[in-house]
């Protein structure tokens, strides 16, 4: 296992993240991604409402079916994690720092998700930054867990969104 030296610690809180056990890291990353995304989307919706832009929060389309749940909770996070990792590695090969690569990748993923609804940009940028940081940190510490460090919190965030659609009144 690679131990961090002073010059290797390029990401915010990397030493703390690297010291967590894997399960604890995934739970923490999930909560961080979900809470940050919800807060940013709510703040953007409030700002949009104050400005009267008429975008509003994304509306649910009823209770999701089994195919939607499978696609949202399992398939999309796996495919998106593969693409995120490919993008991160490409950006790093272009001599971007790890932090810059994560920021650029997160913004691009935010733009991709904004196609579905403009306010999803904000939550997606935050979440993909969390997923990207997790990948980079675990790639250095335990390369065999790097993919899962990005994919598992992503699956949990998506599962939370699907679960909310099953709540009464949703």
pLDDT for 123 beyond 70: yes
pLDDT digits (tens, 9 = 90+) for 126-136: 999 999 999 99
pLDDT for 154 beyond 90: yes
pLDDT digits (tens, 9 = 90+) for 7-20: 344 566 777 777 78
Q: What is the pTM of this model?
A: 0.85
**H or E, element range at 34:** helix 22-51
pLDDT, residue 88, reads: 97
C-beta neighbour count of 14 within 10 angstroms: 19
Specify which of 3-7, 43-47, 98-102 reaches the highest per-range mean pLDDT. 98-102
Which has the closest alpha carbon to 39: 125, 131, 158? Answer: 125
Angle between the N-to-C axes of helices 98-114 and 120-141, in degrees from 0 to 180, rounded to the nearest 10: 150
| CA dist., res. 35 & res. 19, Å (int) | 22
pLDDT, residue 51, reads: 75
Look at 39-43, 48-52, 91-95 and tell me which has the smallest mean pLDDT: 48-52
Burial (CB count <10 Å: 0-12, 13-18, 19+), residue 117: middle
Mean pLDDT of the chain: 85
For 51-63, what is the mean pLDDT?
61
pLDDT for 49 beyond 80: no
pLDDT for 44 beyond 90: no
pLDDT digits (tens, 9 = 90+) for 67-107: 988 999 999 999 999 999 999 999 999 999 999 999 999 99
Domain boundaries, the chain: 20-53+70-165
- With vertex at residue 30, the alpha carbon angle to CA 18 and CA 131, rounded to the nearest 5 degrees, is 65
């Amino acid at each position: 296992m690679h131990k961090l030296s002073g010059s290797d610690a390029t990401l915010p809180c990397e030493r703390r993240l690297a010291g967590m056990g894997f399960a604890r890291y995934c739970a923490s990353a999930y909560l961080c991604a979900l809470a940050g995304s919800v807060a940013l989307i709510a703040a953007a919706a409030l700002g949009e409402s104050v400005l009267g832009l008429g975008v509003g929060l994304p509306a649910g389309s009823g209770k999701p079916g089994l195919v939607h749940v499978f696609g949202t909770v399992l398939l999309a996070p796996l495919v998106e994690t593969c693409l995120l990792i490919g993008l991160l590695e490409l950006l790093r090969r272009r001599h971007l720092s790890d932090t810059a690569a994560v920021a650029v990748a997160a913004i691009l993923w935010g733009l991709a998700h904004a196609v579905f609804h403009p306010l999803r940009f904000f939550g997606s940028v935050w979440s993909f930054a969390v997923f990207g940081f997790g990948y980079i940190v675990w790639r250095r510490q335990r390369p065999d867990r790097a993919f899962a460090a990005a994919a598992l919190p992503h699956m949990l965030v998506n599962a939370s969104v699907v679960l909310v659609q099953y709540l009464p009144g949703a």
